[in-house]
């Protein structure tokens, strides 16, 4: 994919999703893609390797939740994998401090290398396992906690509150659609409340997505 096509597809995708990013985000995402594909040729970071799919299913899928995280001072991405959604969100919101946590060392190594290559400040990659004890795990709490297909929603809502600052919120990026009643029931089980829920489709494949935001009662 040449530079012009990448920018055109990114622009079209963002318009379809109703989000906007600064002009410098496109070239930086291209550099992130090049780094990802270079690393992936040697170590298995992602099963998605076609540039068009990386753009849609990693980058645009991450940027789709900009409305839910904009304004946060700190973001914690648990089960970040190769850095999604945390790295694209950081590129779009450069003043936000972002910590990305994964249990796979090579993925954390990639996150650190990519952040250094892009000259990103305020990005931290952590090799750790989140089991609900942030102090002993060395994982900082954040204003917004996010995960993308990290675990089933009931398990996520059981784990998540321990990692959120007072007054903060938990963002769940879901593939499987949940009704408002289902979301409310899952939240009530953990003394949480649903702040918002939004369904959308990825712009090129039409894949269904949902993002739900929760807060402590």
For residues 15 and 165, give the distance between their C-alpha atoms in angstroms, rounded to a whole number.
32
pLDDT digits (tens, 9 = 90+) for 52-75: 999 999 999 999 999 999 999 999
Is 148 annotated as a binding-site member? yes
Is 131 annotated as a binding-site member? yes
For residues 119 and 53, give the distance between their C-alpha atoms in angstroms, rounded to a whole number.
25
Domains of the chain by start residue, with CATH = 3-216 (3.40.50.150)
Torsion of CA 61, 73, 127, 27, to 10 degrees: 50
Does pTM top 0.75 for this prediction?
yes
What are the tokens at 127? 């090799």
Is 186 annotated as a binding-site member? no
Position 150 scores a pLDDT of 78
For residues 136 and 128, give the distance between their C-alpha atoms in angstroms, rounded to a whole number.
10
pLDDT under 50: residue ranges of the chain: none
β-strands 74-78, 123-127 pairing: unpaired
Is 130 annotated as a binding-site member? yes
Position 139 scores a pLDDT of 98
């Amino acid at each position: 994919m040449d530079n012009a096509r990448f920018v055109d597809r990114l622009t079209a995708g963002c318009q379809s999703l109703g989000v906007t990013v600064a002009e410098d985000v496109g070239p930086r995402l291209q550099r992130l893609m090049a780094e990802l594909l270079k690393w992936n040729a040697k170590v298995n970071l992602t099963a998605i390797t076609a540039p068009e799919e990386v753009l849609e299913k990693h980058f645009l899928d991450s940027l789709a939740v900009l409305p839910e995280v904009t304004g946060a001072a700190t973001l914690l991405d648990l089960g970040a994998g190769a850095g999604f959604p945390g790295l694209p969100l950081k590129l779009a919101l450069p003043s936000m401090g972002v910590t990305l946590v994964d249990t796979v060392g090579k993925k954390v190594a990639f996150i650190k290398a990519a952040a250094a290559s892009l000259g990103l400040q305020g990005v931290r990659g952590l090799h750790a396992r989140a089991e609900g004890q942030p102090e002993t795990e060395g994982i900082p709490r954040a204003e917004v906690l996010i995960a993308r297909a990290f675990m089933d929603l009931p398990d996520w809502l059981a784990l998540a509150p321990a990692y959120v600052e007072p007054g903060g919120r938990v963002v769940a990026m879901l593939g499987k659609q949940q009704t408002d009643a289902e979301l409310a029931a899952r939240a009530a089980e953990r003394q949480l409340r649903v702040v918002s829920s939004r369904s959308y489709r990825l712009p090129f494949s039409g894949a269904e997505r949902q993002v739900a935001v929760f807060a402590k009662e």
